[in-house]
Structure 1
Amino acid sequence: MEALTLTTPALLFSAISLIMLAYTNRFLAYAAVIRDLRDKYLQRQEASLLRQINNLKIRLNLTRYMQIFGITSLLLCVLTMFLIYVDYNVIAVWVFGIALILLIISLGFLIWEIQISSKALKHHLSDIENDLKQR
């Protein structure tokens, strides 16, 4: 097995940065939708709006966990680079391994969130289809 070098964890910086940007964009989009749904709910208290709000609460929590695990992974990559720099290579390998596992967990939460998002959009489409059939 090759020794871990400074460039190995550094390679993840751009990937994790792009992932975090995508997570932040999701978070901001949810915030806008939630604000809009809140205003709609204050005007008319419909059960469908409550279901959407509950769905968004779940997705918002998943996005928060995605961000936490992603940021922790990035932090551990930086720590790995420091450990390599001070010549603690064995510890650096373990810390980097944990960083990779945290990134995998973050991406797992992303997959879960995408499944929920897709299901919610399918419900919206079926509502539209049902409305068209009734006309």
Structure 2
Amino acid sequence: MDLTLGTPSLLFPAVSLLLLAYTNRFLALASLIRDLQAQYSSTQRHSLLAQIDNLRRRVHLIQYMQASGAASLLFCVASMFLIFGGMVVAARWLFGASLVLMMLSLALSVREIWISVTALDIQLSEMESDQ
């Protein structure tokens, strides 16, 4: 396979959109955490603690998702730089590493989605117990 400057540049739009989506998730969770903290300080409900613990795990996963996505972009740029410098073998390794980091980021995203479903189950269980 020939590795040209165009190959790593194909990841730029995907990584940029993923990082934007991850940032939006993070901001939504931060707002939700602040709301739950206010609710907990006024009600001291145990179910809120379970939700807060769930949110803590999700925030950490998003941190890792963002870090691996940003590292993927960094490796992709470094790969392009190496191609430009004529070091194609090293560029291939870095581009491969950037793809692995992107896969890691996506796998963490899937895990975060599973955890968010658990959070919704906690909320639904609380609503059912109130009836």
TM range (shorter): over 0.9
1: distance between equivalents of 2:124 and 2:55? Answer: 17
Q: How does 1:1-135 map to 2 (within 5 A)?
A: 2-132=1-131
1:61-100 alpha-carbon deviations (Å, 9 max, x no partner): 0000000000000000000000000000000000000000
Unaligned stretches of 5+ in structure 1?
Answer: none
1:35-66 alpha-carbon deviations (Å, 9 max, x no partner): 11111111121111111111100000000000
RMSD, aligned α-carbons: 1.0
1: distance between equivalents of 2:48 and 2:107? Answer: 28
1: distance between equivalents of 2:92 and 2:39? Answer: 51
Aligned partner of 1:45: which letter?
A: Q
Alignment size in residue pairs: 131
SS at match of 1:5: coil
2: distance between equivalents of 1:42 and 1:119? Answer: 23
Aligned partner of 1:30: which letter?
A: L
Conservation of the 8 A alpha-carbon contact between 2:47 and 2:122: no
2: distance between equivalents of 1:43 and 1:127? Answer: 17
When normalised by structure 2's length, the TM-score is 0.96
SS at match of 1:90: helix
1: distance between equivalents of 2:54 and 2:125? Answer: 17
When normalised by structure 1's length, the TM-score is 0.93
Identical amino acids, percent of aligned pairs: 52
2: distance between equivalents of 1:129 and 1:43? Answer: 22
Unaligned stretches of 5+ in structure 2?
Answer: none
Aligned partner of 2:103: which letter?
A: I
Q: 1:123 deviation in Å?
A: 2.6
